[in-house]
Amino acid sequence: MNEPDIVSLDTADPLAVKRDDFDLPEDKVYLDGNSLGPLSHRARQRAQEVIDKQWGQDLIASWNKHHWIDLSIAVGAKIAPLLGASPEQVVCCDSVSINLFKLLSCALRLQTDRSTIVSEQDNFPTDLYIADGLSQLLGEDRCKLRLVNEACLERALDDDPAVLLLSHINFRTGRLHDMQSLTRAAHQRGCLVIWDLSHSAGVVPIELDHWQVDFAIGCGYKYLNGGPGAPAFLYVAKRHLANVNQPLQGWMGHSAPFDFEPGYKARDGIGQFLSGTPPIISLSVLDAALDVFADVSMEMVRAKSIRLSELFINLIKQNRSLAELELRSPTNSDDRGSQLAYAHPSAYAICQALIAAGIVADFRSPDLLRFGFSPLILSFQDIQHSVQSLASIIVEKRYLEQGFNQRLRVT
């Protein structure tokens, strides 16, 4: 694809204008929105307002006056449409790990005669650690984690597990599961599903209600752009809401927290999944960040995400000097999220050289370069520039210089 064609892609891009909503460093192309989404102007303004005005001036009164007390529910309701969920089925609080613990406990309680959690060997590790922690707490007769490879997932359902726990998009390769068909297959065997949407929420169309998903979790700091460590969300299907009780029952999940009764009585609905007091500053920032989605559809976002990824793949293919890079993501765009992984024996050093050149990609051990495509901030010319930089680093072997191979602890 030649230069004028790429310029015309940007000219025709209906999402190009969204970049103005963000405060991006001028000297970088940011291909790591799949790890940490960028700062939006709305997020910055809201942080200032919540700190200076709400906390600073109105102090304790802000719990009512500025609706802090309802913020977890309100932010959940704002995330819901991005997931194909009704507003009353999503709440925002705690971390993905903590929320998964709540949902796994609920799912196992619903499955009185089953105890196995099936997941993938290369699921995002924190999900596996949490399942393992629950298993150790309850004992293997009540909760046993079984890890299988992707190819064996459907077969594992034949053994009647209690819960199928999967990430919608694989954090390394970007491989996208068919959520609808796997959910249906699980339900046919009486198995409940929990989907981790951390790498898909805000970048891939999702239809939790329509696909009959039981439970889901996901994080606020990747494509939702909620800021570092932004609170996470959780989703519970309407049909389960009246039949579950989660063990991390804190005062914010009580039906009348300010009655300070010694006995716990859970709120009705999704609010029962709240535990302690949420981090209001971080939660407010996420709330404001979500407003950038108000005028875009997930279909538009997905269409641009695919175009960005395909352009990246094609530009790499066209460049013979990049032949050493081996695509480890699915080649069919329907089977991928908004990220690509390429293997290279010097992946770590190349990644460092790229970052030094202003192209922020990331590295996953042992040999993967990972490129994330945030459709709200990236142009097609950014993709072209990134591949050109990558090519010049590899052609000129610049990654062998300047200590790029000196390993730091990277995220």
| Residues numbered 114-173 forming contacts with its own copies, rule: CB under 8 A | 121-126, 128-130, 132-134, 136-138, 147, 171-172
Binding to its own copies in span 374-403, by CB under 8 A: none
Indicate the residue among 28 and 307 with the shorter CB distance to its own copies.
Answer: 28
Task: Say whether the peptide bond before residue 366 is cis (omega within 30 degrees of 0).
Answer: yes
Cα separations (Å) of 154 from 119, 172, 193, 317, 334?
Answer: 11, 21, 13, 34, 20
Structure tokens at 260: 């300070």
Q: Which stretch binds its own copies (CB under 8 A): 3-11, 77-85, 223-231, 300-308?
A: 223-231
Which one of 9, 29, 43, 182 is in contact with its own copies (CB under 8 A)?
43
Closest CA to 361 of 339, 330, 394: 339
Cα 161 to Cα 185: distance, rounded to the nearest angstrom = 12
Nearest approach, Cβ of residue 65 and its own copies (Å): 10
Nearest approach, Cβ of residue 377 and its own copies (Å): 11
Cα separations (Å) of 375 from 30, 37, 81, 354?
Answer: 11, 11, 18, 20
Kindly state whether residue 367 participates in binding its own copies, applying the rule CB under 8 A: no
Q: Which amino acid is at 352?
A: Q
Indicate the residue among 34 and 183 with the shorter CB distance to its own copies.
Answer: 34
In angstroms and rounded to an integer, the radius of gyration of the C-alpha atoms of the chain is 22
Count of residues in the chain: 411
Q: Which stretch binds its own copies (CB under 8 A): 179-187, 328-336, 357-365, 397-405?
A: 357-365
Indicate the residue among 69 and 400 with the shorter CB distance to its own copies.
Answer: 69
Binding to its own copies in span 10-39, by CB under 8 A: 23, 25, 28, 30, 32, 35-36, 38-39
Structural contact between residues 178 and 205, judged by C-beta atoms closer than 8 angstroms: no
**Known catalytic residue at 30:** no
Which one of 174, 202, 218, 231 is in contact with its own copies (CB under 8 A)?
231
Kindly state whether residue 218 participates in binding its own copies, applying the rule CB under 8 A: no
Kindly state whether residue 356 participates in binding its own copies, applying the rule CB under 8 A: no
Residue position matching structure tokens 């990972």: 370
Closest CA to 10 of 406, 382, 395: 382
The separation between CA 48 and the C-alpha centre of its own chain, rounded to angstroms, equals: 26
Indicate the residue among 11 and 57 with the shorter CB distance to its own copies.
Answer: 57
Cα 385 to Cα 272: distance, rounded to the nearest angstrom = 48
Indicate the residue among 70 and 160 with the shorter CB distance to its own copies.
Answer: 70
Across-strand partners of 166? 195
**Known catalytic residue at 370:** yes
Nearest approach, Cβ of residue 290 and its own copies (Å): 16
List 124, 363, 373, 404, catalytic entry: 124
Nearest approach, Cβ of residue 215 and its own copies (Å): 17
List 21, 127, 196, 214, catalytic entry: 196
Nearest approach, Cβ of residue 291 and its own copies (Å): 16
Cα separations (Å) of 17 from 11, 198, 199?
Answer: 10, 25, 24
Q: Cβ of 18: how many Cβ atoms within 10 Å?
A: 21
**Known catalytic residue at 223:** no
Q: Cβ of 53: how many Cβ atoms within 10 Å?
A: 12
Kindly state whether residue 91 participates in binding its own copies, applying the rule CB under 8 A: no
Nearest approach, Cβ of residue 112 and its own copies (Å): 14
Which one of 160, 229, 324, 395 is in contact with its own copies (CB under 8 A)?
229
Across-strand partners of 234? 91, 217
Binding to its own copies in span 279-308, by CB under 8 A: 279-283, 285
Residues designated catalytic: 124, 196, 221-222, 370
